[in-house]
């Protein structure tokens, strides 16, 4: 049986790793949070250092907050690459820039190691029930070898193209998701301020063209004032920053994403980065002087 490394046991990584254990993978896990590691050990995984994961595992999954942490985890003196075996496959499921993904690909390739950028979509609920979607960049043979393990965590995985393609796809996904949440928030505030029950507006329009997976997930949370994070504002703020920075490097105009980034900057100043990204609505509530609630009261 292949030994699998799993690095990063946060909101997403924890349930993803648990699904792999439940479905029979022999997992070596690492996180800076000792409690998270202990919880996975109780579920059947084994705790390990980064060096031990590098020297013992055939496939290594990472899901970490940003590209700098991914690069440190792989390439610092005591990182995974210090002991990694040729033929190993590293699958990074973090949301990073395409430039960061290509850096990892090229530097691991020198060691005879394959690298896939494979960010996921679906948030915490789909991480828990094992129905995430993987958008993957890298070499086809590595993708085919890692695919069965991805399917222990997800329902779909698509090889989009070469190295960096998965990260590009994830950024495109984040543009759509976060601008959709922003439009939803503005619309619910509009209804509330105009004196119409937002819940009834939601029920009236959810089956039409305005309806979406985002609306189904976020409208009830907003109206119930539930901002417990399935996807933290801080992570999505970082993703939209990556969109804007990557777009500038490639001369791609992204005026709506740029404006959304500034909206998120305002939410950061207000100390809301640990809220769910449904809290984007709070920007529009502040402007209009209302708070969206069921019943419009």
| Alpha-carbon separation of residue 274 from 209, 227, 243 (angstroms) | 31, 9, 20
| Contact present, 278 and 284 (Cβ < 8 Å) | no
d(C-alpha 80, C-alpha 97), whole Å: 20
> Residues 71, 126, 170, 232: which is the catalytic one?
170
Q: Is residue 109 flagged as an active site residue?
A: no
Question: Residues for the chain: how many in total?
Answer: 297
Which residues are paired to 28 by β-bridges? 5, 46
| Alpha-carbon separation of residue 84 from 53, 112, 195, 206 (angstroms) | 8, 9, 61, 50
Per-residue buried b or exposed e for 211-224, using 16+ beta carbons within 10 Å of the residue's own CB: ebebbebbbebbbe
Which of the residues are catalytic?
A: 170
């Amino acid at each position: 049986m292949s030994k699998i490394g799993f690095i990063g046991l946060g909101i997403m990584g924890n349930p993803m790793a648990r699904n792999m254990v439940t479905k029979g993978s022999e997992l070596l896990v690492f996180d800076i949070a000792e409690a998270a590691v202990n919880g996975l050990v109780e579920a059947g995984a084994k705790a390990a250092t980064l060096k031990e994961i590098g020297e013992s595992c055939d496939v290594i999954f990472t899901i970490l907050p940003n590209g700098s942490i991914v690069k440190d985890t792989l390439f610092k003196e005591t990182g995974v690459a210090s002991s990694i075996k040729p033929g190993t496959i590293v699958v990074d499921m973090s949301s990073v820039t395409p430039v960061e993904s290509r850096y990892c690909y090229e530097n691991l390739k020198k060691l005879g190691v394959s690298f896939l950028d494979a960010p996921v979509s679906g948030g915490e609920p789909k991480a828990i029930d094992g129905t995430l979607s993987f958008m993957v960049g890298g070499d086809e043979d590595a993708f085919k070898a890692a695919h069965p393990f991805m399917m222990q965590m997800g329902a779909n995985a698509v090889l989009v193209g070469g190295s960096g393609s998965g990260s590009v796809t994830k950024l495109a996904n984040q543009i759509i998701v976060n601008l959709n949440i922003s439009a939803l928030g503005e619309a619910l505030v509009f209804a509330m301020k105009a004196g119409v029950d937002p819940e009834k507006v939601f029920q009236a329009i959810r089956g039409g063209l305005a309806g979406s997976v985002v609306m189904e997930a976020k409208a009830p949370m907003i109206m119930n004032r539930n901002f417990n994070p399935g996807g933290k504002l801080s992570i999505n703020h970082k993703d939209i920053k990556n969109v804007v920075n990557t777009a500038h490097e490639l001369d791609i105009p992204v005026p709506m994403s740029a404006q959304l980034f500034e909206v998120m900057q305002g939410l950061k100043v207000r100390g809301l980065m640990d809220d769910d990204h449904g809290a984007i609505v709070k920007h529009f509530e502040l402007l209009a002087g209302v708070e969206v609630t069921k019943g419009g009261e």
